[in-house]
Amino acid sequence: MGLFGKRKSREERGMDMIGQIAEGKGFYGRLTKAFVGDNDFNRIQQSIQSMQSGTIAAQLRASGAPTTRAVVTNLADTGQLINFDPVVDLALRIVDTGQELPMRTVVSKLQIPRIGDNVLLVADPQNPGGFLYAGPAEP
């Protein structure tokens, strides 16, 4: 217990720091932006958003949120890694509607989808009408 109340855990402090960097606000956000420059700072923000969207998709899928099947029509590597997992650009076709959907997401290096593979998507709660990558579909 801290002097003036309950102290945040190490994980909570880390998530606060990541949030400040992602928004470019607060001490850590401004410091990061000052040291790395605008172009690299934008890449850092995109990586953080990709990481957070993957975490949200996993939580939604685990909680039983409805999923949508899609087929991978194109796959391109961006050259970026988050926790040693690749960030890829996917072109997807939703099975039910036939809608084409581009998406940049983090995929597990053990489960990188290939063209023609079925994958699962979950509705993005922060972006109505949008989807998050939720991993490969079971056959």
Q: What is the 3-class SS of the chain, one letter each residue? A: CECCECCCCHHHHHHHHHHHHHHCCHHHHHHHHHHHCHHHHHHHHHHHHHHHHHHHHHHHHHCCCCEEEEEEEEEEEEEEEECCEEEEEEEEEECCCCCEEEEEEECCCCCCCCCCCEEEEEECCCCCCCEEEEEECCC
List, for residues 55-109, the tens digit of each pLDDT value.
666 666 666 667 789 999 999 999 988 878 888 999 999 998 888 999 988 888 8
Whole-number Å distance between alpha carbons of 111 and 116: 14
Overall pTM surpassing 0.85 (yes/no): no
With 0-12 / 13-18 / 19 or more C-beta atoms within 10 angstroms meaning exposed / middle / buried, residue 98 is exposed
On the question of pLDDT at 136 being above 60, the answer is: yes
Q: Which residue has the higher pLDDT, 88 or 5?
A: 88
**Do 48 and 24 contact (CB within 8 A), yes or no?**
no
